[in-house]
Amino acid sequence: MESSVNAVNLTDIIAPAFYAVHWDILDGNHTYYDLYGGRGSTKSSFVGIEIPLGMMMDAEKGEHTNAVIFRKVGNTLRESVFEQIAWGIDALGVNDLWSASVSPMQYTYKPTGQKIIFRGLDKAKKTKSIKASRGWFKYLWFEELDEFAGIEEIRTVQQSVLRGGDKFVVFKTFNPPISRSNWANVYVEEPRDDSYRHKSDYTSVPVEWLGQQFIDDAEHLKKTNERAYKHEYLGIPVGLGTNVFELLEIRTITDEEIQKFQSIYQGQDWGWYPDPKAFIRAAYMPNQEKVYLLDELGGCKIRNTAMAKQIKDKSYDDYSIYCGVDEEESIVDFRDAGLPARRALVTPGSRKYTFEWLQCRTIVIDPARTPRAYKEIIKYEHEIDANGEVIADYPDGDDHWIDSLRYATSPISMRRGYSA
Active site residues per annotation: 144
Give the ranges where 302-348 is alpha helix by DSSP (H).
304-313, 328-336
Report which of 73, 28, 24, 79 is spatially closest to residue 46, judged by C-alpha positions: 24
Q: How far apart are CA 104 and CA 172, in angstroms?
A: 23
Whole-number Å distance between alpha carbons of 77 and 282: 47
Query: Would you call 210 helix, strand, or coil by DSSP?
Result: helix
Burial class (CB in 10 A: 0-12, 13-18, 19+), 22: middle
Tell me if 339 sits within 8 A of 267, measured CB to CB: no
Residues 6 or more apart in contact with residue 363 via CB below 8 angstroms? 245, 247, 248, 249, 290, 291, 293, 377
| C-alpha atoms less than 13 angstroms from C-alpha of 5 in its C-beta half-sphere | 22
What are the CA-CA distances from residue 229 to residues 93, 102, 218, 243, 365 (Å)?
Answer: 35, 37, 7, 19, 25
Of 282, 301, 273, 311, the closest CA to residue 374 belongs to 282
Q: How many CB atoms lie within 10 A of CB 123?
A: 10
124-139 residues labelled b (16+ CB within 10 A) or e (exposed): beebeeeebeebbbbb
Helix, strand, coil percentages in the chain from 3-state DSSP, rounded to 5: 40, 20, 40
DSSP string across 336-351: HTT--EEE----TTHH
**In terms of C-beta distances under 8 Å and separation of at least 24 residues, what long-range contacts does 378-383 make, across chains too?**
378/180, 378/181, 378/185, 378/186, 378/189, 378/243, 378/245, 378/248, 379/180, 379/181, 379/186, 380/243, 380/244, 380/245, 381/179, 381/181, 381/240, 381/242, 381/243, 381/244, 382/242, 382/243, 382/244
